[in-house]
């Protein structure tokens, strides 16, 4: 089956219409993304700034690009002019830089706060206490060029469904608490980005509004 057919089939059979599919095209060449594009799908995710910029330059401009990976502050400037959503905001230093680059580009940049929900130390993300402290601050209130649209998280890489489910439940809990305390009058704060090829079914059951899927659509990656 072609990549384009994979996407169509996946959208028709696996994803409720209220969940957004981010097709994760990292490591795949532009030819493959063009093939995927034939399906009509327009939302793609990358995890490296340089690769994202190169693909943005070479591919049709109606693609909505999502930055899903860990990002260094000094690279925000390269994607600020065109990126649709930055999923992995895991420090407030990064958020301040995103704000600065948003101002330079005269746009408000949509972001998700990434939370550390997995048992693995290697994964990135904020914890609730640091998030609350920052969201209460005047510094945060003055960031006029970022728009916080919700939260993102990655579950532990494990076969244990109960672990994954508990971690996704924790992210939903974090979302609900932040919504209630800081974002009750921000309609845009509504996204929960969770679920990848191995755990998207659980993520959708637990309330994901966005899933980030690579290998199911594009095949395994060779790094
Ligand atoms: C690579 C990646 C994905 C997609 O992973 P698959 O297992 O191929 O679906 C999702 N989210 C992030 C942050 C990634 O880096």
Q: What is the pLDDT of residue 56?
A: 98
Ligand 1: which of 68, 200, 203, 217 to mutate, judged by most atoms within 8 Å of the beta carbon?
68
| Cα of 185 from ligand 1 centre, angstroms | 31
Positive or negative, the Cα torsion across 40, 15, 6, 85? positive
Tens-digit pLDDT profile for residues 159-186? 999 999 999 999 999 999 999 999 999 9
**Distance of alpha carbon 118 from alpha carbon 120, whole angstroms:** 5
pTM: 0.97
Q: What is the pLDDT of residue 223?
A: 67
| Cα of 215 from ligand 1 centre, angstroms | 8
Q: Is the CB of 27 under 6 A from ligand 1?
A: no
Within a domain: 121:
yes
Within a domain: 223:
no
Q: Is the CB of 197 under 6 A from ligand 1?
A: yes
Tens-digit pLDDT profile for residues 63-80? 999 999 999 999 999 999
Q: Is the CB of 85 under 6 A from ligand 1?
A: no
Question: Can you give the residue range of the structural domain that contains 200?
Answer: 3-218
Write the CB contacts of 131 (distance below 8 Å, at least 6 apart in sequence).
113, 115, 174, 178
What CATH number does the domain containing 211 carry? 3.20.20.10
Within a domain: 14:
yes
Domains of the chain: total: 1
Within a domain: 152:
yes
């Amino acid at each position: 089956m072609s990549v384009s057919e994979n996407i169509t089939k996946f959208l028709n059979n696996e994803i409720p219409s209220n969940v957004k599919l981010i097709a994760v095209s990292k490591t795949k060449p532009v030819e493959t993304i063009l093939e995927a594009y034939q399906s009509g799908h327009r939302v793609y995710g990358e995890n490296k700034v340089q690769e994202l910029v190169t693909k943005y330059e070479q591919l049709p401009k109606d693609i909505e690009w999502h930055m899903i990976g860990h990002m260094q502050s000094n690279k925000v400037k390269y994607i600020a002019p065109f990126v649709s959503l930055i999923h992995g905001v895991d420090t407030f230093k990064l958020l301040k830089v995103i704000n600065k680059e948003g101002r330079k580009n005269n746009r408000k940049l949509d972001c998700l706060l990434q939370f550390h929900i997995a048992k693995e130390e290697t994964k990135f993300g904020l914890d609730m206490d640091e998030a609350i402290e920052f969201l209460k601050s005047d510094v945060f209130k003055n960031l006029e060029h970022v728009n916080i649209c919700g939260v993102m998280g990655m579950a532990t890489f494990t076969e244990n469904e109960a672990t994954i489910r508990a971690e996704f439940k924790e992210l939903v809990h974090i979302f609900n608490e932040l919504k209630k305390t800081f974002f009750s009058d921000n309609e845009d704060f509504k996204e929960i980005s969770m679920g990848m090829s191995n755990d998207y079914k659980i993520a959708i059951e637990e309330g994901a509004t966005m899933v980030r899927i690579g290998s199911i659509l594009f095949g395994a990656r060779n790094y």
